[in-house]
């Protein structure tokens, strides 16, 4: 039996602003909840290649595990949780900018 594939999203930093972005079906979003959840390995690899080709907009695209047990994708690892939220010492970054 092949190992079940952990759902993933494609994430990167925005070239100009440097902040964290997530690939959606038709572009990019600053919110993880909007991201396209990838459950098939071959498709995920393809989406990553497509993302990495957009060098004029994004930097350092990679696949990050997500937790979909409550519907919308949520970070599976604490590093991704910080990327999705911002630093813990100041209310800077996404935790204030997205509201």
**Which residue among 5, 43, 55, 72 contacts other proteins (CB under 8 A)?**
55
Stretch that binds other proteins, among 2-10, 14-22, 25-33, 38-46 (CB under 8 A): 14-22
Euclidean distance between CA atoms 7 and 67, whole angstroms? 7
Pick from 43, 41, 38: nearest CA to 66: 38
| CA 73/CA 91 separation, integer angstroms | 23
Selected from 7, 68, 74, 82, the binder of other proteins by CB under 8 A is 82
Count residues near other proteins (CB under 8 A): 25
The reply to whether 74 sits near other proteins by the rule CB under 8 A is no
Question: Dihedral, CA atoms, 85, 36, 69, 81, nearest 10 degrees?
Answer: -20
- Catalog residues that contact other proteins under the rule CB under 8 A: 13, 15-20, 55-56, 59-60, 76-79, 82-83, 86-90, 92-94
């Amino acid at each position: 039996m092949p190992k079940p594939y952990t759902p993933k999203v494609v994430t990167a930093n925005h070239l100009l602003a440097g902040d964290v972005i997530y690939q959606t079906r038709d572009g990019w979003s600053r919110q993880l909840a909007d991201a396209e959840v990838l459950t098939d390995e071959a498709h995920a690899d393809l989406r990553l290649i497509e993302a990495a080709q957009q060098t004029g907009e994004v930097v350092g695209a990679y696949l990050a595990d997500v937790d979909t047990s409550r519907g919308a994708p949520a970070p599976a690892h604490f590093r991704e949780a910080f990327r999705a939220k911002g630093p813990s010492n100041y209310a800077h970054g996404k935790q204030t900018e997205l509201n």
